[in-house]
Structure 1
Amino acid sequence: MKLTEYKAGKNLASYIDAYYTLETGLLYQPANRQVFADGCTEIFINVGNSRPRINTDTVLVPGNIYLGGTMTVSNTVRSVPGSRFIGIRFKPFGLSAFYNIPLDELVDKIIEFPDKELYSLAEIDDGLINRLDHFFLGKLKLIKHSPIIPITETIFLSKGMVSVDYIAKTYNLSIRTLERIFIKDIGIPPTELIKIIRFKQSANKLQQAESAITLLKIAIDTGYYDHAHLSREVKKYSGITPSQIARNDNCLS
Structure 2
Amino acid sequence: MAVIRVIYKEYIPSENLNSIVDTIWIATNYGKEIESRILPDGYVDIVFDLDKQKHLNSGNEIRISGMMTKFKKVISRKNSETLGIRFKTGQFNAISNIPLSKIKNTTINASDLFFKLNNSFLDELVEKKHHWEKVQIINKFLLAEINWSDLTPNKLEHSVCQSIQLNYRELDLNKIAKNHYISLRQLERRFKATIGVTMKEYHSIIRFNKVKDCIAKNPNLSLLNTAFDNGYFDHAHLSKEIKKMSGVNPSEL
Q: What is the TM-score when the length of structure 2 is the normalising length?
A: 0.83
CA distances 1:107-140 after superposition (whole Å, capped 9, x unpaired):
1111211245353663453233344334323333
AA aligned to 1:2 is I
Where do 1:33-48 residues align within 5 Å? 33-48=36-51
- Relative to structure 1, the CA distance from residue 3 to residue 50 in structure 2 (aligned partners, 3 Å threshold; closer, same or farther) is farther
Aligned match of 1:193: 202
Contact 2:32-2:79 within 8 A present in 1 as well: no
Contact 1:8-1:18 within 8 A present in 2 as well: yes
CA distances 1:158-214 after superposition (whole Å, capped 9, x unpaired):
446432122212211111111111121122211110111011100111122232x11
Aligned match of 1:138: 144
Aligned match of 2:223: 215
The answer to whether the aligner puts 1:67 opposite 2:99 as a matched pair is no
Output the CA distance in 1 between the equivalents of 2:140 and 2:179.
Answer: 35
Contact 1:36-1:239 within 8 A present in 2 as well: no
Kindly tell me the number of residue pairs found equivalent between the two proteins.
235
- Relative to structure 1, the CA distance from residue 224 to residue 165 in structure 2 (aligned partners, 3 Å threshold; closer, same or farther) is same
Output the CA distance in 2 between the equivalents of 1:93 and 1:214.
Answer: 35
Aligned match of 2:3: none
CA distances 1:128-153 after superposition (whole Å, capped 9, x unpaired):
33443343233334235651122223
Where do 1:17-96 residues align within 5 Å? 17-25=22-30, 28-51=31-54, 61=58, 64-96=61-93
Aligned match of 1:243: 251
Aligned match of 1:4: 9
Secondary structure (helix, strand or coil) at the match of 2:82 reads strand
Higher helix fraction (1 or 2): 2
- Relative to structure 1, the CA distance from residue 12 to residue 170 in structure 2 (aligned partners, 3 Å threshold; closer, same or farther) is farther
AA aligned to 1:117 is K
| Identity level (%) | 29
- Relative to structure 1, the CA distance from residue 133 to residue 151 in structure 2 (aligned partners, 3 Å threshold; closer, same or farther) is farther
Match 1:127 to one of 122, 130, 133 = 133
What is the RMSD computed on CA atoms of the aligned residues?
2.4
Aligned match of 1:15: 20
Contact 2:90-2:157 within 8 A present in 1 as well: yes
Structure 1 unaligned blocks of 5 or more: 53-59, 246-253
Contact 2:60-2:109 within 8 A present in 1 as well: no
Output the CA distance in 2 between the equivalents of 1:230 and 1:145.
Answer: 32
AA aligned to 1:222 is N
Where do 1:87-126 residues align within 5 Å? 87-114=84-111, 115=114, 117-118=116-117, 119=121, 122=125, 123=128, 124-126=130-132
Q: What is the TM-score when the length of structure 1 is the normalising length?
A: 0.83
Output the CA distance in 1 between the equivalents of 2:12 and 2:168.
Answer: 21
The answer to whether the aligner puts 1:162 opposite 2:171 as a matched pair is yes
Contact 1:43-1:89 within 8 A present in 2 as well: yes
Structure 2 unaligned blocks of 5 or more: 1-5
Output the CA distance in 1 between the equivalents of 2:237 and 2:11.
Answer: 35
Output the CA distance in 2 between the equivalents of 1:184 and 1:4.
Answer: 31
AA aligned to 1:107 is K
AA aligned to 2:247 is G
